[in-house]
Amino acid sequence: MTYIAKPKLHHPSLTRNKAGYTRRDYEGPVSTLCAGCGHDSISAAIIQACFDLDIQPHRVAKLSGIGCSSKTPTYFLGNSHGFNSVHGRMPSVLTGANLANRDLLYLGVSGDGDSASIGLGQFAHSMRRGVNMVYIVMNNGVYGLTKGQFSATADKGSKSKRGVINSDEPIDLASLALQLGATFVARSFSGDKTQLVPLIEAAIAHRGAAFIDVISPCVAFNNHPGSTKSYDYVREHNEAVNRIDFITKRDEITTDYAPGTVQEVVQHDGSILRLRKVDESYDANNRIAAMNYSQEHHAKGEVVTGLLYVDPEPQELHGYLHTVDAPFNRLSSRELCPGSARLAKINASLR
Amino acid sequence: MTRIQAVNDFVVKFANVNGSGSASANELFAKSIIRMGVPVSPRNIFPSNIQGLPTWYEVRVTDQGYLGRRGGVDMMVAMNPQTWDEDVAEISPGGYLFYDNTKPLPKSRFRDDITVIGVPLTEICNAAYSDPRQRQLFKNIIYVGALSSLLDIDPAAIEKLFAEQYRGKEKLLDSNIKALNLGRDYAAAHLDCDIGLKVKPSDRVGDRIFIDGNSAAALGLVYGGATVCAWYPITPSSSLAESFIKYCQTLRVDPETGKNLFASVQAEDELASIGMVIGAGWNGARAFTATSGPGVSLMTEFIGLAYFAEIPATIINVQRGGPSTGMPTRTQQADILSCAYASNGDTKHVLLFPEDPHECFEFSATALDLADRLQTPVFVMTDLDIGMNQRLSAPFVWDDARAYDRGKVMTEEELEAGKTFGRYLDVDGDGIPYRTYPGTHPKRGAYFTRGTTKDRYARYSEEGPVYVDNMERLVKKFETAKSLVPQPLTRPAKKATRNGVLFFGSTSPSMHEALDRLEAAGEHLDAMRIRAYPFCDDVMDFIARHDRVFIVEQNRDGQLRGMLINEGGIDPAKMIAVLHYDGTPITARFIVADIADKLARYNVTPIKKVAS
């Protein structure tokens, strides 16, 4: 980390987006994470994505659990309400927040300890329910704040900094998300911003449970030879299925692509995901195939990245619950209270 | 043998098999007596089971309106061979045994000091019905018919209840009336109906309603403006969330769009249910969960977060017997301590103690207001006895002029006007800071919510003085709560006395009955019903005014007594515990005997023998 505070004044020539904000308006206070931490790159990608999409910062609610990853919401979107909840329980808090006001953008940030160990249950059930959110796991395979214990996503055979070999099977959160009904599932790498930023943008535009597993090396405890979550390992074994261009409906499509190399997905809000296929056989609309593909390549020691699956017609929790369009937190007794006349009838029926 | 003689003042207990359809027949029996203007107080005594195990339904007929459990059985309706011996043994001497005598039983299975009334229920039923399920269900209605003849229950009241229940389902209506008359006709033709227990029309019910506490609390939450319900099924609270959904399906559907003005999520566990409530509360919706003791245990970490981060949350705890899984289908008041101080670290939570369904309704709505006003978790501490039994109680009341108290919420306009916003800043001395809902203002009012320590402007800080400043403000806030919570109610003794008694929650009906009887025996005690924690100054004044104070509780360790001693700095010697915790609802008989016994031991005044 650095102890030099960011200057508060912005350069007058900073570019503003269509919402009138500069990129600096999406930042937060300076990060207290280790220099070179993958998580800071993900924070930067979130900032970039929100700036690119002209999102009003205060219309984002950012929620996290406990751990290094869960500290990051402090470091981006300083004008958004944030909630650093309890360990592993961000998904339930986010679900409740989402029920209270369906109009905000919900960004859940978690880590592999937070989501795959203590919070595996809540992770799973928030996917099942189809909560409309962007759920990002900053996945480094290790407990950072408590100094280097394996987490549940550490690969079997992976070596810790102290030389211990992990004998437990890893939990693959992306595969779980696929199986549990998430309607947008991606994996990326903190060191690959060109892949990560458009994925976050696409996830933000997605109206349903969007999950991104971001491999994010821990420079302090998990970046050594023998680790499968190090910068070197992931760069060498990164098996991207596609490269994504996120296109809002306003943008004109100009580039030509060779047939069979591009898959276009039109999302509910009219935005277009153009997937430039690296593997021509890969179909990002096929959930079962995505699960198989991911597992096959993981068995070979490869890290499959890209947009693994997207449902262009997603359902989400408010739809299932058939709730009114107005946010609950704006309703008053006028809408909510049935009144004394009705109560008199209820009393009469109970005699 | 002297047969028990009583008009409108006796106990009938039904011994049934779980899942046999007896519950609705037994409820019909109770309601028909209410329709005759005679108060009754029924209680389900049931196992943690869906089908096959024994279950009982105890109906206290009480013209005086004593709605607590009485104890003792004047008539047993023994429909369960499994529990026959214990059921027969429970009948008070001179009492009555009603049973199905289709199959003869040896004389040794009966008693000489009771009146035995046999009705061949199975035989009557099998002759009339061929369908096995009908045989099972209508057997229950047939015994209600026979009992109505024996006890002089007005058949018109029963037929009217049928008519209300089966409106538009004439076939069911007719078949139920037929079953009822099978029982009545048999009794008229074959039984000596001149038994000692009789129901006579009365006018003691008044405008009271008959409802269970869980339904009442659910309706209170609808009226109080709860929009988010997150819950995990647990006895005895499950029916509360289910009632909320049921009420909302008629009362909370937007007439224009047909869309729901509520959301209910059945969570994966209690951790998730309270997490959702806290997330919704943080975001400005009124949210609640309903649970029982083991659920609160799981929620404890989150409750600490809500206390420290100051987020409204309403928790209805329908208490059952603990610890651990404990007695899941029995009643206790044994979560007082675990709720009052739930969480690691120093915390105190607001508790409300409703006495009956009327207060379950009122306090549930109030809890939503208090949670918003105080920005903290608020517990409504009901229990299985109130929650799962229908109880006569005062009708629900709602003042249409009542607006929801959303507490200190800073608006976009106030932020725009430059009003100072510090999330944990006490601007007016009541310990309660302002909050903002997420998304309120583009540049102002955003803050980071966390369970770690922070300063008045919600900035992370581990500085000792900053931490202490915040913790002291939380104490001040709790002081403020004293004047906002439901105040205690006193019942002064008819003669000046140095003895007092404190009680709360479902003990109330038995306590009032006990006070009447103690008074009749010449023993006078001032009584106070505590309705909330934090304890108001009146409670401490009451204790100070008396030399001895009995504290009646339904737990082993005198949890409320301990809190009073601790919070009030009171000499424990003057605080006398009266404790009932076997899982059955406390009775006036128990209270009277225990207090009389203890007073005798303290040798305060000569005690007249108090008849039980």
Q: Do B285 and A78 touch (CB under 8 A)?
A: no
Q: Does A288 touch chain B (CB under 8 A)?
A: no
Give dist(CA B286, CA A100) in Å, integer. 8
Please spell the DSSP secondary structure of B326-347, one letter per residue.
-BTTS-----HHHHHT-SSSS-
- Residues of A within 8 A of B223 (CB-CB) are 337-338, 343
Name the pLDDT band for A77 (thresholds 50, 70, 90).
very high
Mean of all residue pLDDT scores within chain B: 96
Give dist(CA B293, CA B295) in Å, integer. 5
- Pick the more confident residue, A331 or B610: A331
Name the pLDDT band for A274 (thresholds 50, 70, 90).
confident
- Residue B193: the pLDDT is 74
Q: Does B395 touch chain A (CB under 8 A)?
A: yes
Q: Do A325 and B257 touch (CB under 8 A)?
A: yes
Give dist(CA B40, CA B29) in Å, integer. 10
Whether the CB-CB separation of B489 and B530 falls below 8 Å is answered with no
- Residues of A within 8 A of B230 (CB-CB) are 92, 95-96
What domains, with CATH codes, occur in chain A? Answer: 23-349 (3.40.50.970)
Furthest CA-CA distance within chain A: 76
- Pick the more confident residue, A266 or B155: B155
DSSP H or E stretch at residue A51 = helix A38-52
Whether the CB-CB separation of A274 and A266 falls below 8 Å is answered with no
Q: State yes or no: pLDDT of A255 exceeds 70.
A: no
- Residue B563: the pLDDT is 98
Interface probe, candidates B276, B288, B415, B437, chain A, greatest A C-beta count within 10 A: B276
Ramachandran region of residue A147, left (φ > 0), alpha (ψ -120 to 50) or beta? left
What residue in B sits closest to A102 (Cα-Cα)? B283
Kindly report the nearest CA distance between residue B269 and chain A, in angstroms: 9
Q: Does A15 touch chain B (CB under 8 A)?
A: no
- Residue B604: the pLDDT is 55
- Residues of B within 8 A of A94 (CB-CB) are 279
Q: Does B160 touch chain A (CB under 8 A)?
A: no
Q: State yes or no: pLDDT of A253 exceeds 80.
A: no
Please spell the DSSP secondary structure of B82-138, one letter per residue.
GGHHHHHHHEEEEEEEEEE-SS---GGGS-TTSEEEEE-HHHHHHHH--SHHHHHHH
Whether the CB-CB separation of B307 and B347 falls below 8 Å is answered with yes
Whether the CB-CB separation of B546 and B362 falls below 8 Å is answered with no
Name the A residues in 87-106 with CB < 8 Å from any B CB: 89, 91-101, 103-104
Name the B residues in 292-321 with CB < 8 Å from any A CB: 301-302, 305
Name the pLDDT band for B506 (thresholds 50, 70, 90).
very high
**Phi and psi dihedrals of B392, rounded to 5?**
-70, 130
Query: Which stretches of B419-568 are assigned E, i.e. beta strand?
Result: 448-450, 489-491, 499-503, 526-529, 532-533, 548-553
> Smallest Cβ distance to A329: which of B262, B265, B284?
B284
One-letter amino acid for residue A99 of the chain? L
Interface probe, candidates A85, A103, A330, A334, chain B, greatest B C-beta count within 10 A: A85
Q: Do B396 and A343 touch (CB under 8 A)?
A: yes
Q: Do B285 and A346 touch (CB under 8 A)?
A: no
> Smallest Cβ distance to A343: which of B305, B398, B446?
B398
Q: Are strands B115-119 and B91-100 parallel, antiparallel or unpaired?
A: parallel
What residue in A sits closest to B251 (Cα-Cα)? A338
Kindly report the nearest CA distance between residue A179 and chain B, in angstroms: 17
- Residue B569: the pLDDT is 97
Give dist(CA A97, CA A329) in Å, integer. 10
Q: Does A320 touch chain B (CB under 8 A)?
A: no
- Residue A257: the pLDDT is 66
Q: Does A22 touch chain B (CB under 8 A)?
A: no
Helix B357-374 with B213-223: angle, nearest 10 deg: 40
Can you tell me the mean pLDDT for A210-236?
Answer: 94
What residue in A sits closest to B411 (Cα-Cα)? A330
Q: Does A241 touch chain B (CB under 8 A)?
A: no
What domains, with CATH codes, occur in chain B? Answer: 6-198 (3.40.920.10), 211-393 (3.40.50.970), 412-484 (no CATH), 489-602 (3.40.50.920)
Q: Do B448 and A82 touch (CB under 8 A)?
A: yes
- Residues of B within 8 A of A58 (CB-CB) are 438-443, 446
Question: What does the pLDDT look like over A112-142, one tens digit per residue?
Answer: 999 999 999 999 999 999 999 999 999 999 9
Residues 6+ apart with CB under 8 A from A162: A148
One-letter amino acid for residue B413 of the chain? E
- Residue B371: the pLDDT is 98
Q: Does B415 touch chain A (CB under 8 A)?
A: no
- Chains A and B form CB pairs within 8 A to the count of 223
Furthest CA-CA distance within chain B: 89
Q: Does B409 touch chain A (CB under 8 A)?
A: no
What residue in B sits closest to A94 (Cα-Cα)? B279
Residues 6+ apart with CB under 8 A from B612: B589, B592, B593
**Does the bond joining A198 to the residue before it have cis omega, within 30 degrees of 0?**
no
Q: State yes or no: pLDDT of A66 exceeds 60.
A: yes
Can you tell me the mean pLDDT for A318-331?
Answer: 98
- Residues of B within 8 A of A79 (CB-CB) are 442-443, 446
Give dist(CA A50, CA A200) in Å, integer. 9
Name the pLDDT band for A278 (thresholds 50, 70, 90).
confident
Query: Which stretches of A140-282 are assigned E, i.e. beta strand?
Result: 142-143, 149-150, 184-189, 209-215, 238-240, 242-247, 262-266, 272-277
Question: What does the pLDDT look like over B355-404, one tens digit per residue?
Answer: 999 999 999 999 999 999 999 999 999 999 999 999 999 999 999 999 99
Q: Does B30 touch chain A (CB under 8 A)?
A: no
Residues 6+ apart with CB under 8 A from B70: B11, B60, B62, B587, B588, B589
Dig out the tokens for A156 from the structure: 């079997």
- Residues of A within 8 A of B211 (CB-CB) are 350
Give dist(CA A228, CA A211) in Å, integer. 21
What residue in B sits closest to A80 (Cα-Cα)? B446
DSSP three-state, residue A106: strand
Interface probe, candidates B164, B209, B282, B436, chain A, greatest A C-beta count within 10 A: B282
**pLDDT over 70 percentage in chain A:** 95
Q: Does B264 touch chain A (CB under 8 A)?
A: yes
Question: What does the pLDDT look like over A143-154, one tens digit per residue?
Answer: 998 989 999 999
Q: Do B400 and A339 touch (CB under 8 A)?
A: yes
Residues 6+ apart with CB under 8 A from A275: A242, A243, A244, A245, A262, A263, A264, A265, A284, A306, A307
Cα–chain center distance at B505? 8
Kindly report the nearest CA distance between residue B30 and chain A, in angstroms: 12
**pLDDT over 90 percentage in chain B:** 94
Can you tell me the mean pLDDT for B443-452?
Answer: 95
Query: Which stretches of A220-336 are assigned E, i.e. beta strand?
Result: 238-240, 242-247, 262-266, 272-277, 303-310
Name the A residues in 130-159 with CB < 8 Å from any B CB: none
Kindly report the nearest CA distance between residue B389 and chain A, in angstroms: 14
What residue in B sits closest to A327 (Cα-Cα)? B285
**Phi and psi dihedrals of B539, rounded to 5?**
-65, -45
Which burial class, exposed, middle or buried, applies to A272 when counting CB atoms under 10 A from its CB (0-12, 13-18, 19+)?
A: middle
Name the pLDDT band for A64 (thresholds 50, 70, 90).
very high
* CB-CB neighbours of A276 under 10 Å: 15
Q: Which of B61, B71, B58 is nearest to B8 (CA)?
A: B61
Q: Do A85 and B281 touch (CB under 8 A)?
A: no
Q: State yes or no: pLDDT of B440 exceeds 80.
A: yes
Q: State yes or no: pLDDT of B612 exceeds 60.
A: no
Give dist(CA B218, CA B364) in Å, integer. 8
- Residue B609: the pLDDT is 56
**Could you tell me how many residues make up chain A?**
351
Query: Which stretches of B218-365 are assigned E, i.e. beta strand?
Result: 228-231, 263-266, 287-291, 313-319, 350-352
- B313 beta partners: B377
Question: What does the pLDDT look like over B52-92, one tens digit per residue?
Answer: 889 999 999 999 999 999 999 999 999 999 999 999 999 99
Give dist(CA A343, CA A346) in Å, integer. 5
> Smallest Cβ distance to B260: which of A59, A78, A323?
A323
- Residues of A within 8 A of B440 (CB-CB) are 58
